[in-house]
Structure formats: C-alpha cells, structure tokens
Structure 1
Amino acid sequence: MQEFLASTTYIDWQHPAVLAQAQELAAAGGEQADIARRCFHFVRDQIKHSWDYRQNPVTCKASDVLDHGTGYCYAKSHLLAALLRANGIPAGLCYQRLTIGTEPPFCLHGLNAAYLPEHGWYRLDARGNKPGVDAEFCPPKEQLAFALTTPGEQDFAGIWAEPHAAVLQSLLTQPTVEAVMAHLPDGDLSNDPTPARLAHLL
C-alpha cells in the first residue's frame, strides 16, 4: 500500500496548501469513509472542470489544481488522491476509455480508487457534475460520471499509483484548455504493465 500513500511530483500531498486542505476536510472527524466523502465532495464541487468552465491555466500537480481551483478530470483526480493520501487513505488513479460524444474518436477519462476498510478498493469520480453527469460517493455502490455505452469503450481494471504517461504528455505540453481538448490522451491500457493491478477491482 505504500505507493498509494506516497507524496510524489504530481500527487504532492506534502505541499503545505494541500496538507492544510486535507486537515481541514478531516477536522470534523468520523471514519475513513466519512473523510473520503468530504474530500470527494470538495474536489467534485469546489474545483471547476477546466473544459466545462473554459478555465485556464492547464493544471496537473495536485497543489496547482488546488491553487487555481480548476483542472481536467485527470488533474482533479490527482488532487483527490493527494487529499486522501494526506489523511492516510490509500488512493490511486483509474482510467476509462470513452467516446468524446456518441461515437469515436476515443479519449481517456481519469478517476480514482480509494481503499476503504469496510469496502476494499472503491472507485469514485470527482470530475464534476452537470446535466447528464451525476457522480456520487455511495459505497459499496459505484456511481461514476460515465457509463460505457458505445462499442470500443473500456473500463481499465488497473489502479495506477502515478499519472499515466499519456495523461502527463497532454497536460504538460499543451498551453491552454482548448489545446488539451484538441489533444486529449488516448490509448488501450488493458495490457499496460505500469499499474499495480489489484484483483477484483471490477
């Protein structure tokens, strides 16, 4: 579990601002699931999805997402992982491959998995709700932002301790949210040896 608790370049929970926010979210106490719920709601509702709001700058590090209050789904998942890890809750990154509209092309979608003692690994999606998107924290039931509806869409079973290289390539090289949208990351991660693969996640 240690890699899912680590503070890293992009999941930088030891950054003072991220740590302070994590401590604030934990201040009301409760079980780990209660703290995870507050972290989830904070990222889902208080951090704006960059494309929904056409809001720059492009963020990637958890601390930058918190500082600017905006991020694509991938960046928001980095912040949620950081807040959870700062509170001692193992957390990683998950990906789906979805259509951008109702047909190809495809792109990756970023979300999280958190280890909750009562439920094991539980996926949660803090992308941000809007008409047609209703993600919730309701373990043991999963209620993610998107369902697979188009042939070719995929739900990858791995949990990544670090952001996938394809995601970093997009977020770190594109200068604006519009440029990221034009170069969204994509790929079939089914046989990717990078993630720590955990049985029975799905």
Structure 2
Amino acid sequence: MIRFQKDGTDMSLDFYPRLSSAGSMGQPSGFDISSGGLTAAQSLDDDPERWLINTPLLQFDHPKVRLLATRLTQLQATPRQKAMACFAHLRSLPFGAIADSVGTSSLSVLKYGMGDCHTKSTLMVALLRSSGIPARMRFVSLKPDFLHGIVDNGTQPFEHAMTEVLLDGRWLAVDSYVVDLRLAVAARSRLHQEGRKLGYGMHVDGQMSWDGQSHSFGQFHPAHIASMPLHDWGAFDDPYQFYSSVPYVKQRLDWSTRVKWMVGAKMVNRKVASLRLTPAAPAQAAGKKG
C-alpha cells in the first residue's frame, strides 16, 4: 500500500475492480460528439452498478460528503436535476491547483474549498455516486495550449480529467465545472484581447454551463479540431486508479514529480489570482485608463 494523503488514507489498487489486461485503453470513448453520448450497453462496463462503488479517494460514505450530497439534491426530483445541482456546486468552487491532485480525496477537496480538473472531478463523482447516480472519470491528453498564461509545459501534453454521468441510459461527459464563472469570464476576456482560442485554463468558446442533456466542455471545443483531445485513456473510478494503471502516466506517482507539482501548484495559483484581479492585460488596461 501507498500512504498518500495527510489524512492517512492508504492507497492500493487492491481496493479497485480489476481492469482487463489492456486496461481501459482500446475501449470506445465515453464522449462521442457525433452521437451525443454512448448508451450504457456501449460503455466500458455493461453494468451501471459498476460505477457506483466507493474508493479510498471518493469516500462518498463519509458523513460530510453524504450530508453535502443530500443538501444539494434533496429538493431535486430527477437524477438529471440532482446531477445539475452537483454540477452547480462544483462550478461555484474556485479553480485552484492542488499539489497532490493524484491522491486528494473528495473529503480533502471539501476542506480546501477549491480544486482543479482532477480534484473537482473526484468530488463530482463522489457526490453523484452518493446520490445513487452512476458516474466515472474519463482521462484524456490535451495539448498544453489550453493552459497558456498559467503553466509553461513546452510541448508536453497535459492529462485532463472530466466526469461522465449516466442519465437516461446515456453517458454524458462534462468538465465545464472546472473553471469557476469569475475566472472563466476573466480568461475569455484575456483570450479575446490576445486573439487566442486557447489559454488560461479554457477555450474561448468553451461552455460555462450544463443542461444535463448533452456534453459540456470548457477546455476544448468540438468545432475547433486542433483543441480536441490527443488521446483518450478510458474511464476510471478516480485519479489514483488511472495514474497507477497506465504505464505512460505512472511516473506522476514518483516523489520527484510530486515535488515538482507542489512547487508548480503555488505558481499556478498566483497567476490565477492575478488574472481574477486583472482580466485585461496590464498594458491594455493602462491604455484604457489614459
């Protein structure tokens, strides 16, 4: 076992259902743009109950997680309305990089009161499963362009997490809760000023809401082919299962890489805070004042 978290949670793949010999790779994508969502029968696993299990990171049986799920959904009549209520809560949390996004539990996300694509998705899946709605995380690789202005990663792709939720027999993918509204508006303003389509954590035409009936993407846009995922790694229960199961990204569990992200997270959060305060580029903002 690996003891990851400050709360002492023990992490091991023994806690998770066993993947096929090829893992999740080679399975059909859970976000088929043309068809508007795969049916449950086309998914990685035919049994929706598979995507209701608990894990050491989801911790959806913890009283604080269950209480939040109940508070968000108790007045909602349908699974779709409940899912949308969970989405609204996640979107309201400020975007913020967490150094150990691979091993951060849903309970820790509540404590931090912020999150990135990995950690917000962990809490999103936990709330949905706590509400009896099958949900999972899908991981893809994106070009680093969408983080222009926040992270300099050269040409190295970033692994991006989104939530897939099973509603009316279809898996719908959504990540537009990752960037909170205030940051999204600031990022879009900066992108328009710079004449860019990607940067500051989102696509200039990325979605900032979700209707519970279709996919909703904030970091890329189907009409902009160059922004689309480079690789679909498949569906997983949480970040730990993904990074522990896929050899290509397993290096993220190394301590040297974890230290790098601890330093990087602070830098990201400083740049995000600056963008929130000054949506317009400094030179242009000064010009407007004159």
| 1:128 aligned onto 2:212 | no
Moved more, 141-150 or 119-128: 141-150
Percent of matched pairs sharing the same residue: 19
Letter in 1 for 2:165: A
- 1:71 shift after superposition: 1.9
The residue aligned with 1:61 is 105
The residue aligned with 1:95 is 139
Distance 1:151 1:15, change over 3 A: closer
| 1:138 aligned onto 2:211 | yes
- Cα contact 1:124–1:136 (8 A) shared by 2: no
Moved more, 25-34 or 169-178: 169-178
Distance 1:22 1:156, change over 3 A: same
Letter in 2 for 1:144: F
Distance 1:179 1:121, change over 3 A: same
The residue aligned with 2:164 is 113
CA RMSD after TM alignment = 3.0
> In structure 2, what is the Cα distance between the partners aligned to 1:16 and 1:175?
33
TM-score normalized by structure 1?
Answer: 0.74
> In structure 2, what is the Cα distance between the partners aligned to 1:17 and 1:179?
30
> In structure 1, what is the Cα distance between the partners aligned to 2:171 and 2:134?
9
Alignment coverage as a number of residue pairs: 176
> In structure 1, what is the Cα distance between the partners aligned to 2:135 and 2:112?
22
> In structure 2, what is the Cα distance between the partners aligned to 1:138 and 1:77?
18
- Cα contact 2:105–2:119 (8 A) shared by 1: yes
Which of 205, 226, 230 matches 1:154? 230
- Cα contact 1:57–1:68 (8 A) shared by 2: no
| 1:35 aligned onto 2:82 | yes
Distance 1:72 1:142, change over 3 A: same
The residue aligned with 2:67 is 20
> In structure 1, what is the Cα distance between the partners aligned to 2:118 and 2:254?
10
Q: Secondary structure at the match of 1:49?
A: coil
- 1:161 shift after superposition: 2.2
- 1:178 shift after superposition: 3.6
- Cα contact 1:3–1:161 (8 A) shared by 2: no
The residue aligned with 2:199 is none
TM-score normalized by structure 2?
Answer: 0.53
> In structure 2, what is the Cα distance between the partners aligned to 1:152 and 1:136?
19
> What are the ranges of 5 or more consecutive residues in structure 1 without an aligned counterpart?
183-202
- 1:151 shift after superposition: 7.6
> In structure 2, what is the Cα distance between the partners aligned to 1:174 and 1:21?
32
Give the structure with the higher percent helix.
2
- Cα contact 1:50–1:177 (8 A) shared by 2: no
The residue aligned with 1:7 is 54
Give the structure with the higher percent strand.
1
Deviations 1:33-69 (A, max 9, x none): 0000000110111x22214xxxx66451111001111
